[in-house]
Structure 1
């Protein structure tokens, strides 16, 4: 069906009756489903797209093109300062916590200065053995910290994200900013009084009961989905949000590296707690709700809320989308798996031989990688989207991501290692592309459930990555320092293979057709 034919059909919906009634069979090939307010779907089926939603159906998949659920107002711009404060406070807090763990381990083992014992020593010396003991215990406590957050987050984020379909999105921001304030305050007390590292684990465990950073990711995705139309506009919004997050992480890493070196560990953690508290007050008082009551689903029990995540996979009306949808889910899983624990592994990698980096050099490297990836999301997504579909952008991202892991594994000097951020520039773009494609294929009343599914996968990836890659690093660090990055490269390459499989299940122009339908809907809305 040509672009002109689709636009003509869209205009005819206001004045011309559909060419077939409920008892007729739609014409073969491409069809247009006309919106209605009176049709009740069979029990157990996915609710049909709401009035104003236009659906284009091809032989392989169905793409829902719908206007924003909530009209954007200036007050919604409060989303930016709230997320800025939260992203920066979480970034500084994470970096400071990782550095404090190693600092505390060295104190417990009797090393009173900040230099890594035996980092440049001979492999047969006692100092070299001390160095590996510090690395081993640091990696072990880092794993405990990650598991303390990810295990409860797996269940909590799934529940609270799904509940946002019933109670609204603002609830997610209030919950996350409040729990982050409590976590950072407890970590500040642990650093000030030099409590055992178990108190850091306890603080992070309490934050995990609210879903931790996965609740924040679900909140941002659902909030933007409410304010944008599906397709091109939502892709841009989600990518720019992820790019904005990368820029905030860059800022936090630079600031944290300087703060830790100049003022120690306590002041950065106190500043983080203050920023999170301020974000909590802004959210509570000024951030408007994006999910109106008229669009909310009925509140349900906890068990039913958890099961609701599976509706988009089990509904009979979703059968034609099931194969490509599941492939995209697996693509997202492996892409998230290789990225979720990368920074933690890189910190251990750079602290050890042959690099022996200090905190400020680690901060510069992490800032460089996140900055280049953030700029890719904010600057390059517009020209890339004009000439490439989401799946092709994701494939390019997976290719560069694989290359960056291989380069990092084989790096033997600082110069080579500093080239990793350059190669990883487009490495994160696959994440927002997968989110956009999944959101486009999901009905409006199940966006919260999709966010919950994504949050659950993020938690699962966090648990698996923390345990798996930390154990691989500990087991192979004396044999081949960068072996863990070769494993990551293999998994990133698997994402590229799955994208190829996804393209095979799709008709060649399905993504472009969805974008054209979205543009047609926008034109029709403007003309009205």
Structure 2
């Protein structure tokens, strides 16, 4: 007799269970959440450097209109000195704003993601959306009333407290993991990531046009309106069904202390070497996202210098082409290769595509070669959604939120690290060899391939998912209520799956 995942994991027969079943029958669940929320994420990232340069130019040099000087010609004119100083100060402000977001996000992403295992997946979604709404309101007020630039730090801090985009994305992936079987999960996660990249490309073009034609307030207003619509989609009952049965979880398991225990327990247990698998997958995601975020950090700046000398329109099109080819390659490549290759081999192909992108970028001297680099790197996005899918299968279903909260923290750390490291390397080498940055990124892209090789050797993928037994071990010892709860849960599982695997790595 074949036992399904829902039989292995006991689910209370409440109305939340029926909500999970209804959500499982839907083709569209959290995809609109990602599509709407990414508008604010990309819009803020695109608008912030332009607005900072405008305000700093006005305050430092009394420049009310930015001169139409191509950056590749700026150092040959007197205006180049001012441009360099403005860019230097703008880079510092970008660093301050990034710190204001990423420092609180390290804590909030883990707390919100772990609590979502007990209080529901909508918690992390709602908090992240509210954080973006607060940030956009602060930015609109700052632009409209010309408030001091430090006010922007308040908006970024509030966004960080809400968990940021990666916490929202981790909540969406946890939701997908709740409602899918293992064989469906990889492609569903890839579709969600595709929506993020595809919408990112569309927003880059649209927000860039609005910014150049009407100023910063219209794109911010559009982002605010879409995030409010996103909040309504999540919060209004009956539209997005909750997948976590909060009533079946005892009150003493819902607090912040228990959330911390869940993370410790997640890393403490090592059945079948799962701790090392989790850590290696997290490191894989870190280095891939470090590479991706690093390219996003300097891509436009690199293209506006010699020998490319991009205009704003060309820069927007080049960025959008990279997003869109990555989104198409992610879904099409994952689906195509899954017919003949295992998950780890698909991740290796993804690393090879990432390396090819960086190598071609390092030798590019025309805009055409930059577009070709994005084409050969179209498959570089396959690895991360597969890593998330594999991660969801090696943890207990009740630990998915905690596992993806760590992934969200890793995503934010990679973003913060790339914002510190990559521009510093580029600024140091731009005067004599600007392509050095892509040599560095090429070297970094080899690391995730080595990580997957370790996983392939020591933990080849299994076809069948086996539930892990929760030993109920805490730092202060098991509590009586936990033992009773575990005994009840264990007796509800069919005898054919009451198996403990104790192999350690």
TM-score (norm 2): 0.83
CA displacement at 1:118 relative to structure 2: 6.4
Partner of 2:309: 356
1:472-496 Cα distance to aligned partner (Å, 9 max, x none): 2222222322322222221111111
Which residue in 1 is equivalent to 2:192?
241
Aligned equivalents of 1:127, 1:427: Cα separation in 2: 39
Task: Say if 2:408 is the partner of 1:449.
Answer: no
Matched, 1:108 2:59: yes
Q: Measure, in 2, the Cα distance between the counterparts of 1:195 and 1:431.
A: 40
Q: Distance in 1 between matches of 2:321 and 2:402?
A: 34
How far off its partner does 1:442 sit? 0.8
User: 2:269–2:275: 8 Å Cα contact kept in structure 1?
Assistant: no
For the residues of structure 2 that align with 1:263 and 1:351, how far apart are their CA atoms? 22
Contact 1:376 1:426 in 2 (8 A): yes
Distance 2:89 2:407 in 1: 32
> Counterpart of 2:145?
193
Query: How far off its partner does 1:211 sit?
Result: 0.9
Residue 117 of structure 2 corresponds to 165
**Residues 137 and 116 of structure 1: CA distance in aligned 2, closer, same or farther (over 3 Å):** farther
Stretches of structure 2 lacking an aligned partner (at least 5 in a row):
12-16, 468-505
C-alpha distance in structure 2 between counterparts of 1:146 and 1:307, whole Å:
29
Contact 2:333–2:379 (Cα < 8 Å) also in 1: no
Q: CA deviation at 1:295?
A: 6.6
Question: Match for 2:71 among 119, 127, 143?
Answer: 119
Name 2:213's counterpart in structure 1: 262
Q: Is 1:133 the counterpart of 2:85 in the alignment?
A: yes
1:364 Cα deviation from its structure 2 partner: 1.1
- d(CA) in 2 for partners of 1:346 and 1:357? 11
- Which of 77, 83, 91 is residue 42 of structure 2 equivalent to? 91
Q: Please give the root-mean-square deviation of Cα atoms over the aligned residues, in Å.
A: 2.8
Q: After TM superposition, give the deviation of residue 108 of structure 1 in Å.
A: 3.2
- Structure 2 contact 349–379 (Cα < 8 Å) conserved: yes
Alignment partner, residue 419 of structure 2 = 466
TM superposition shift of 1:184: 0.8
Alignment partners' CA distance in 2, 1:296 and 1:347: 49
Q: What SS does structure 2 have at the residue aligned with 1:387?
A: coil
Deviations 1:216-259 (CA, angstroms, capped at 9, x unpaired)? 11111111011101x22111111111011111111111111211
Offset of residue 36 of structure 1: 12
Do the aligned partners of residues 295 and 133 (structure 1) sit closer, same or farther apart at CA in structure 2, a change above 3 Å counting? Answer: farther
Q: Does the CA contact (< 8 Å) of 1:165 and 1:296 recur in 2? A: no
Please point out which of 227, 248, 257 is paired with 2:179: 227
CA distance in 2, matches of 1:401, 1:356: 25
Alignment of 1:21-420 (within 5 A): 50=9, 70-73=20-23, 77-110=28-61, 111-115=63-67, 117=69, 119-121=71-73, 123=75, 125-229=77-181, 231-285=182-236, 286-293=239-246, 296=249, 299-316=253-270, 318=271, 320-420=273-373
User: How has the CA–CA distance of structure 1 residues 35 and 206 changed in structure 2, closer, same or farther, with 3 Å as cutoff?
Assistant: closer
Q: Distance in 2 between matches of 1:515 and 1:448?
A: 18
CA, structure 1 residues 305+36, in 2 after alignment: closer, same or farther (shift >3 Å)?
Answer: closer
Question: Helix, strand or coil: the match of 1:417?
Answer: helix
Contact 2:74 2:83 in 1 (8 A): no
- Residue 441 of structure 2 corresponds to which residue in structure 1? 488
The more displaced of 265-274 and 399-408 is 399-408
Aligned length: 457
- Residues 471/289 of structure 1: CA separation in 2 closer, same or farther (3 Å cut): same
Structure 1: give runs of 5+ residues left out of the alignment.
1-9, 14-33, 38-48, 53-66, 518-528
Question: Which secondary structure does the structure 2 equivalent of 1:195 belong to?
Answer: coil
- Say if 2:130 and 2:231, in contact at 8 Å, map to a contact too: yes
**What TM-score comes out, normalization by structure 1 length?**
0.80
